[in-house]
Structure 1
C-alpha cells in the first residue's frame, strides 16, 4: 500500500476489448499519489482484506453505496467548444449554410475573451457533470480565447486537449472570421503550443495543445504544410475533419485530385496522435493509411445524422485496425452527453445493416456486418478513446489514470427499473448505458481526484 492515497470500493465495468466488458464486483481500486490505479484487487485476491482494513484504518477508503456503480470517465474526441452557445439550433439546414449563417458569426464573437470565458466555463462544468473526464476541443482562430479554454480545463480538473483553429484561406473564409494570413496563423499556433505546454507542466491531470486545421477547405497548402511541421517539431496531437460530407469530401477531391486522408498524410497531419472527425467516406486505401499512420477516427453518430449525408461503416473500419473513439460534435451534435452518442452509434449501425429503403428487397436493403453492440460503443467511449489520443485513460485497470464516474441508479428524480437484487450485473451494465441521465452521475473523478459531487 506504499504511495496509496485513496482506495475506492465498489462494483465497476471496464472494457477488456471491443466485445468484452469486465464485471468488477466489489473490487478495490488503489490510487497512488499520481492519480493512477496502482493496484486493483478482487475479493478473491489474497491482499484484499488486509488492503481494505488498512484503508479503513488510515481513513483512505471511499465505499460506493448500494445501487451505485463505477464506469470509466468518458472521452469525447470531438467538441467545438464555442458552438456550445448555439447547441440545439438550426440543425435542419445544410452544413455549408449552417456554418456560414450561424456557426462562423458565433465563433467570431470569441475575440472577446470575457465572452469566451463565460461560454467555456459553462461548457466544461456541463461536460464534467455528464461524466466526460477528457475532451478534445476545437476552439476558434483566436489565440487568447483558445488559451483561456485550456486554462479553464486545468482549473476545473478536466483533462483537455485544446486546439487553436486555423482558417487562413482568404478565398474560402469570410473576412470577419479567419486568420489574418498564413504566417500569422502559424506563428499564433506555435506560440499557443508553447503556452499550453507550459500550462501542462503545472496541471495535475494534464492539458495538451493540439494542431487544428479546421478542415482542408479552410486552409491554404502553405498552412497545412506548416501545421504538419509544427506537429512533428513539438510532437503534439492533431485534429481536423476528414471526408465528412458530400460537399467537403467532393471539394477536396476536386482541389487535389485525391481524398482528404491522402492530402492530410501528404502534409504530415496523419500521425500516431492524430484524431480525425467523421471520416464517413474513407476508401479502402484511406483506411490502410489511417491504420499505418496510427490515425484515429472520432465517430460522431448524432451530427453525422444531420450533416454527413451517410452512415459510416464504423464496425468495418475498426475491424480493419483503425482506432476509434466517440465524439459528441457539439453543436452539430446537440447533446453534451457521451451516453447519447453511445446510444446513437448503436442505432445508426443497425439502420446501416438493415437498410432504410422499404422499396428494396431485404437482401439488398442494407450493408452486411455493420451493426455494433452496446459493448462496442462503450469501448469507443472509453478504452478506444484513450488509445486514440495515446494516453493511459479509459479503463478501470492497473497503470491507468483513475478517471471515473459514479452512477447512482436509485436517485429519486431518475431512478432506474432495477427491482431484483439477483439481476445479472451484465444486464445492469446495459441499463446504465441506456438509461443514465445527468442526475444519476453523482460524482466524477479525474486523475484520482474527486472533482464533481
Structure 2
C-alpha cells in the first residue's frame, strides 16, 4: 500500500536558497519516495494510494538532523552554564555519566531523550553515550524501538579523568568491539555504531590508533571533539607536542575519514581547514554550547569556503536545548555576533541554517543519498509542520506566504 501526501513542501538543494513548492503530491511506498508532482496532482499509479491532504498552515519539510548530542547528559540541561568547558566537565558531566553503570537509570533517561528529540522533529541523531557498553547498548535498542535513525557511540577515555570513570586501553577497545557486534545483531539499518573517543584530552595515542583501526575494520563513522575551547586546545598541545595541531593528532591515528564528524571546530587553523577538507571530514556546529560554555564563535562561512561540510548539533547538555530549531536560531545569532566585530563577515540567513538542519546535516553524515530533502528514490524522512497550534507565536492574525511561514517556524518554533 502506498500513501500520497498533498500540500506545501519546503526543502533545500543548496545552502543558499530554500525550495518552495506551493502544492506538491509526494507518493511513498515502503518508506521510499516513488513520485513527486509539483502541481499537487497524483499520477495514475498513485490513485490507489491513501491520500493525506495537509491543512492550511501546514507544510512538509525534511526531518531534522542533530549531528552532535550527548544523550547521557540530558539531566544536566541548564546546569553549570557559568563554567567554562573543562571545569564544567569535571563538576557536572563526569559525576552524571558515572550513574550510567546502572542499567535501569540509563533506560529511564535514554527513553526520555529519544522521545524528546523525536518530539522536537529530530529524525536522525548522532549520540554520545558513556564508557559503559551495556547501557549504551540499551540506548541503541531504545532508538531502534522508537524508529529514530541513530548513530550511537560508546565513549572511549583512558586518561585525565577520575579514577572510577576511566578505562584501560585494552578494555576500552574490547568493549567497543563488543558494542559494535551488539549493534550489528540488532539488524536495524537505522541504527549504527560510531567510534567515539571523547576527545584528545581523554585518550592517549595508543587508544586513538586502536580506535582508528576498529573504524577501518568495520567501516564505521567516527565522532569526537576538536578545538572547542582555548584552554582545551592548549592542554592538547602539551599532551601531544609531536603534533603540529589538534587535527593532526586524529590524522596520525587514522581517525580523519569521509565518515568523521568533529564537534565544534571553533579554533581551527587554516592548515587544519585544509587537512579536514582533504580528508572529507565534517564539522558539527554547536552554537548554543559554544556560547553558554564561553568557548567562542565558529565561523561557518570559513568552513564552507574551505570545502568542509557543516551540520548542526544541539550538544546537549553543553547546549541547553535539545531542539535543532533552537540550534538554527543560535547559529543565526552566532553569525550575527561575528559580524559585529568583523565587518567583512556576511551573517548566515534563515535559508542557510535550514539547509544545515536538513540537507547539510545529511551531507555531513554522507547520507544525502538517503535523506535531507525530497527526491524520488530517497527515503521519506519528513515532518508535517503545523503553524496552527493555538499557543504558537506563528499566529494566524494575518495571511502569510509559505516562505514567511518557514521563517516563523525557524524563529518561533519549538516542537
Matching of residue 206 in structure 1 with residue 190 in structure 2: yes
Of residues 260, 264, 287, the one that matches 1:301 is 287
Cα deviation digits, residues 228-253 of structure 1 (max 9, x gap): 01011100000000011011111112
- Counterpart of 2:403 (choices 405, 423, 426) is 426
| TM-score, with structure 1 as normaliser | 0.88
SS, match of residue 12 in structure 1: strand
Deviating more after overlay: 221-230 vs 410-419: 410-419
Q: Which of 201, 204, 208 is matched with 1:224 structurally?
A: 208
1:175 corresponding residue in structure 2: 163
Equivalent residue of 1:162, what SS? strand
Q: Structure 1: give runs of 5+ residues left out of the alignment.
A: 356-365, 439-453
Does the 8 Å CA contact 1:231/1:238 hold for their aligned counterparts? yes
- For the residue of structure 2 that corresponds to 1:191, the secondary structure is helix
Aligned equivalent of 1:312, options 298, 318, 334:
298
In structure 1, the residue matched to 2:76 is: 86
Does the CA-based 8 Å contact 1:316-1:370 persist in structure 2?
no
SS at match of 1:394: coil
Q: CA deviation at 1:98?
A: 1.1
Q: Which whole-Å deviations, capped at 9, do the CAs of 1:284-313 have from their partners, x for residues lacking one?
A: 111111111111000000000022532111
CA distance in structure 2 between the partners assigned to 1:381 and 1:49 by the alignment: 29
The Cα offsets for residues 134-190 of structure 1, whole Å up to 9 and x where unpaired, read as 000000000000111011000001001000000112xx11111112x1000001111
Aligned to 1:108: 98
Q: 2:184 aligns with which of 182, 194, 197?
A: 197
Counterpart pick for 2:413 among 409, 430, 436: 436
- Determine the C-alpha separation between the residues in 2 that align with 1:94 and 1:131: 29
Q: Distance in 2 between matches of 1:138 and 1:370?
A: 33
Match of 2:324 among 330, 338, 356: 338
Alpha-carbon separation, structure 2, partners of 1:301 and 1:428:
24
**Does the 8 A contact of 2:2 with 2:48 survive in 1?**
no
Q: Name the structure 1 match of 2:354.
A: 378
Whether contact under 8 Å (2:85, 2:295) holds in the other structure is no
Segment of structure 1 superposing worse, 324-333 or 312-321: 312-321
Q: What does 1:103-252 align with in structure 2 at a 5 Å threshold?
A: 103-169=93-159, 172-179=160-167, 181-199=168-186, 201=187, 203=188, 206-252=190-236
- Is the CA contact (8 Å cut-off) linking 1:407 and 1:436 kept in structure 2? no
- 2:335 equivalent among 349, 358, 361: 349
TM-score, reference length from structure 2: 0.96
Aligned to 2:39: 43
Match of 1:399 in 2: 377
SS in structure 1 of the partner of residue 114 of structure 2: helix
Task: Give the match for residue 448 of structure 1.
Answer: none
- The equivalent of 1:451 in structure 2 is none
Measure, in 2, the Cα distance between the counterparts of 1:69 and 1:195: 38
Unaligned ranges ≥5, structure 2 = none
* SS at structure 1 position matched to 2:14: coil
CA distance in 1, matches of 2:375, 2:135: 36
Q: Deviations over 1:242-265 (max 9, x none)?
A: 011011111112222322111111
**May I ask how many residue pairs the two structures share in their alignment?**
411
3-state SS in 1 of match to 2:7: strand
Structure 1 range deviating more: 428-437 or 328-337: 428-437
Q: Please report how far the alpha carbon of residue 276 of structure 1 lies from its aligned counterpart in structure 2 after TM superposition.
A: 0.3
User: Residue 266 of structure 1: CA displacement?
Assistant: 1.1
Q: Residue 19 of structure 2 aligns to a residue in which SS? A: strand
The answer on whether the counterparts of 2:82 and 2:293 sit within 8 Å (CA) in structure 1 is no
CA distance in 2, matches of 1:36, 1:367: 45
SS in 2 for 1:238: strand
**C-alpha deviation, 1:128, in angstroms:** 0.4
Q: Which moved more, 1:329-338 or 1:366-375?
A: 366-375
What is the DSSP-based 3-state SS (H/G/I as helix, E as strand, rest coil) of the residue aligned with 1:144?
helix
Determine whether 1:7 maps to 2:1.
no
Distance in 2 between the 1:276 and 1:111 partners?
26
CA contact (8 A) 2:326 2:414 kept: no
SS in 1 for 2:154: strand
Deviating beyond 3 angstroms after TM superposition, the runs of 4 or more aligned structure 1 residues are: 48-51, 418-421
